[in-house]
């Protein structure tokens, strides 16, 4: 019976494949990106790939750019608006009062019948 520390399915000399068996690795280029919170991200790209101008910071999620002195500004989050807020943007208070008066007039007329 084999020892309890042996890993099943392995043999002596079995190890990770080297480049001789896998082939040559593609040439890489490492590019640093800087976010507004001061985090640095350095992904690697294939040497012949197009390098993006911005990259999402994996630590905080803000956009990161290649210029350390002026990283991209955080995106501006619009606050949640209710349906009433959107209606108030489209109509003035006078329009709202006129529509309300018209609806109340129809309601009163239907109750008199």
Q: Is 35 labelled as part of a ligand binding site?
A: yes
Q: Which two tokens stand for residue 106?
A: 């129809």
Q: What DSSP letter does each residue of 37-69 carry, written as one string? A: TS-EE--EEETTSPPPSEEE-TTT--EEES-SS
Q: Is 60 labelled as part of a ligand binding site?
A: yes
Q: Is 36 labelled as part of a ligand binding site?
A: no
Residue from 3, 66, 78 nearest 31 by CA: 66
Provide the sign of the torsion angle of the four alpha carbons 55, 57, 63, 65, taken in this order.
negative
| Binding-site annotation, residues for Zn(2+) | 35, 39, 57, 60
Q: Which positions make up the binding site?
A: 35, 39, 57, 60
């Amino acid at each position: 019976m084999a020892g309890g520390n042996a890993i099943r399915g392995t043999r002596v000399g079995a190890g990770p494949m080297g480049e001789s068996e896998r082939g040559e690795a593609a040439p890489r280029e490492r590019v640093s990106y800087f976010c507004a919170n001061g985090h640095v991200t350095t992904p690697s790209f294939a040497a012949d790939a197009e390098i993006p101008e911005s990259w999402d910071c994996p630590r905080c999620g803000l956009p990161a750019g290649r210029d350390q002195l002026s990283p991209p500004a955080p995106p501006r989050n619009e606050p949640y608006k209710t349906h009433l807020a959107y209606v108030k943007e489209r109509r003035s208070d006078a329009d709202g009062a006129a529509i309300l008066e018209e609806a109340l007039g129809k309601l009163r007329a239907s109750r008199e019948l």
